[in-house]
Amino acid sequence: MKILSKILPLLLLFITSSFFSSQAQVGASNQESFTSIIISQTGLDFVKDLLITKAISSIIPLALPKIERAVKIPILGNVRMVLSNITIYNIDVLSSYVKPGDTGVVFVASGTTCNLSANWFYEYTTWLLPIQISDHGIASVQVEGMQVGLTLGLETQEGTLKLSLVDCGCYVKDISIKLDGGASWLYQGMINAFEEQIVSAVENAITKKLKEGISKLDSLLQSLPKEIPVDDHASLNITFVDNPLLTSSSIEFDINGLFTARKKASIPNYYNSNLQPPVFCSDQSKMLGISLDEAVLNSASALYYDAEFMQWTVDKVPDQSLLNTAGWRFIIPQLYRKYPNDDMNLNISLSSPPVIRVAEDNIDATVHADLIIDVLESGEVIPVACISLSAEIICSSSKITVCSDVAYADSDNLNQLFIPFSNRYT
């Protein structure tokens, strides 16, 4: 008992440490990346054009605050001019570019023009006259040479992609104002005093809208699911792993990428989780490059095998005579002798998940399958023979090669007798 009392705490410590170690490994497996998505410069340009179009459509029409100026002229009286209902109704982007960098992704739109409409009002009061002089009309404003730039930060946060605004600005180079209605020619010179206020209002309003848009886009990214349902049985794990890798001409996103069971049943780890070297998209004319580790394919293989999807019953074929023992009399003579002219079913099942290996130049898979022949006699299903197939399928860009071994066993002789040949088909 004394020995047991000394050993028991050590055993408990060992079991506890093993438990937490295994839990840490399970948690770490979800932090591994098996799929890489690389967006090239061409892809970034496409995304940039898409975002600019979306941004413009969400900004316009953009209402600006009312602008008012009052001037007191000694002896003569007071002058008040108001611009109201100021609205940006059109924006045109002449040129733009996007560039990943150390601080984030830089978007710049230059040579941008925008058009504004407004109502103007003029009022003059003086103690010299007992009446008030006023006039009103509409104004059109043309903004030219506007440059808009922003820098976006990208990082992974709890498995999702977080977007942050590092820098944002808008600069207007030139502006022209034209008045219509009333005695507009009389007030044109005075209205030009509003240029600085209009420029400031345009810059502030566009900058504010861009910040709001980035905040909404970040919220959208945060709300994206971490798993995408594939069907009733499988989901694709799209949890982001590590921060995006930014180069001078591309952005790489690493995700988990494995297939998981939707019912969260435990699936044996049939697949090999050894990470493969990353594949880089060297052709910049391609928008998108996707690098898959073989573990992604093997996770799908293991999942659908566990869900019993790799089992088939064949009872109808184009040539129905093949599902009669008479059609097999030269392949398995004893089958025909024992069950002459009886109909058959073929039950095909994989004995283990296909193992897929990815190399630089080809993909190969090892498949182990069993073909069970059932004879239908007097309404009874009788399994009479089993043919085991082991095949290695090698796929390259130019050909598909199949290497197979076949073994046969019947119901009267359970010892498998290997047929003395190995086939290789190309």
- Cross-strand bridge partners of residue 260: 235
Which of 4-13, 90-99, 177-186, 384-393 comes out lowest in average pLDDT? 4-13
pLDDT band at 100 (very low <50, low <70, confident <90, very high): very high
- Predicted pLDDT of residue 164: 92
Alpha-carbon separation of residue 44 from 47, 50, 59 (angstroms): 5, 10, 22
- Predicted pLDDT of residue 400: 67
Residue-wise pLDDT for 312-357, tens only, equals 888 888 888 888 888 888 877 888 888 888 888 888 888 888 888 8
- Predicted pLDDT of residue 411: 56
- Predicted pLDDT of residue 98: 93
80: pLDDT strictly greater than 70: yes
- Predicted pLDDT of residue 18: 34
- Over range 71-85, report the average pLDDT: 78
- Over range 116-121, report the average pLDDT: 90
pLDDT band at 186 (very low <50, low <70, confident <90, very high): low
378: pLDDT strictly greater than 90: no
- Predicted pLDDT of residue 298: 86
148: pLDDT strictly greater than 90: yes
- Over range 50-76, report the average pLDDT: 84
- Over range 218-238, report the average pLDDT: 89
Question: Which stretches of 281-368 are DSSP H helices?
Answer: 294-306, 333-338
- Predicted pLDDT of residue 405: 66
Looking at residue 277, the DSSP 8-state letter turns out to be: P
- Predicted pLDDT of residue 147: 94
59: pLDDT strictly greater than 80: yes
Q: Where are the beta strands (DSSP E) in 74-189?
A: 77-92, 95-100, 105-125, 133-157, 160-171, 174-180
- Predicted pLDDT of residue 15: 31
- Predicted pLDDT of residue 32: 82
- Predicted pLDDT of residue 187: 64
- Predicted pLDDT of residue 329: 84
Please give the share of the chain, as a percent, with pLDDT higher than 90: 24
425: pLDDT strictly greater than 50: no
Say how far residue 77 (Cα) sits from the centre of its chain: 66
- Predicted pLDDT of residue 331: 79
Q: How far is 318 from 168, CA to CA, in rounded Å?
A: 67
- Predicted pLDDT of residue 322: 83
- Over range 156-166, report the average pLDDT: 90
- Predicted pLDDT of residue 117: 93
| 325 in Cβ contact with 344 (< 8 Å) | yes
- What is the residue-averaged pLDDT of the chain? 78
141: pLDDT strictly greater than 80: yes
- Predicted pLDDT of residue 22: 34
Cβ-based neighbours of 174, under 8 Å, separated by 6 or more: 143, 144, 145
Please give the share of the chain, as a percent, with pLDDT higher than 70: 77
170: pLDDT strictly greater than 70: yes
